[in-house]
Amino acid sequence: MSEWVVDARDLTKVYQMGDVEVHALRGLSMLIEPGEIVAIMGPSGSGKSTLMNMLGCLDSPTSGEYYLDGERVAGMVDDQLADIRNRKVGFVFQGFNLLPRSSALANVELPLRYSSTNGRSRRGMARSALEVVGLGDRMNHRPNELSGGEQQRVAIARAIVNEPSIVMADEPTGNLDTKSGDEIMELLLSLNHDQGTTLIVVTHDPEIAAHTGRVVNIRDGRVVMENNL
């Protein structure tokens, strides 16, 4: 087991937009311990989304090194990125990203279809994940039969069903009212407390960031400040 679940060293990301080079990350480094809760904050265009794509193995850096739970990610091709992403990363998005015609149970089961888990085991793991997020009685409901908060709980169950090394939450309360947003943050924090899940929250909301253990502020593709809370 690596000492760090996230070990990012001098990451750069350069996009070619016609004749113009856009430097989204400029030598960014970051270390995150297993079980830590970290908020990533910064203005629009600061590199937050690009960094999330790097840490979540959705994309590879132009240069630099990245180790996720001890595995070297930099230089991986798409199939390798998909494999490590499916094994080690759970995603929670602002927009829930649920399949509208599928039940909560089927939505949570989805990531397991890309693993070697058999059908009966998949169903059992998905049921367990939904029970963890308090939706044991809503498993057969479709997204349009659930409230926004319940849909986000389904998304969280889907994110944790593979027991990933990290859960990455991108503005997880952005589409919710204050009460539902507070409940979702409490749920994410309880997963960290009860299961030791490493949680990375990308947010612009200082109140959300205040729930975490460390805030990393980035601007122009660099870390400009870190605060331990």
Q: What is the pLDDT of residue 116?
A: 67
pLDDT at res. 120: 77
Q: Cα(228)–Cα(214) distance, rounded to whole angstroms?
A: 4
Whose structure tokens read 């059992």?
Answer: 124
Is 162 within 8 Å of 146 (Cβ atoms)? no
- Tokens 């270390």 belong to residue: 31
In this prediction, residue 98 carries a pLDDT of: 95
Question: Where does residue 160 fall: left (phi above 0), alpha (psi -120 to 50 degrees), or beta otherwise?
Answer: alpha
Domains in the chain (CATH in brackets) are 6-81+165-228 (3.40.50.300)
Let me know if 37 is exposed, middle or buried by CB neighbors in 10 A (0-12, 13-18, 19+): buried
Q: Crossing angle for the helix pair 119-132 and 148-160, nearest 10 degrees?
A: 130
pLDDT at 61: 92
pLDDT of 74 over the 90 cut: no
* CA–CA separation, 178 and 183 (whole Å): 9
- Tens of pLDDT, residue by residue over 159-193, are 999 989 899 999 999 889 999 999 999 999 999 99
pLDDT tens sequence across 43-66 = 988 999 899 999 999 988 999 999
Average pLDDT in the chain: 92
User: How far is CA 112 from its chain centroid?
Assistant: 17
Answer for the pair 200, 35: CB distance below 8 angstroms, yes or no.
no
How much is the pLDDT for 112? 86
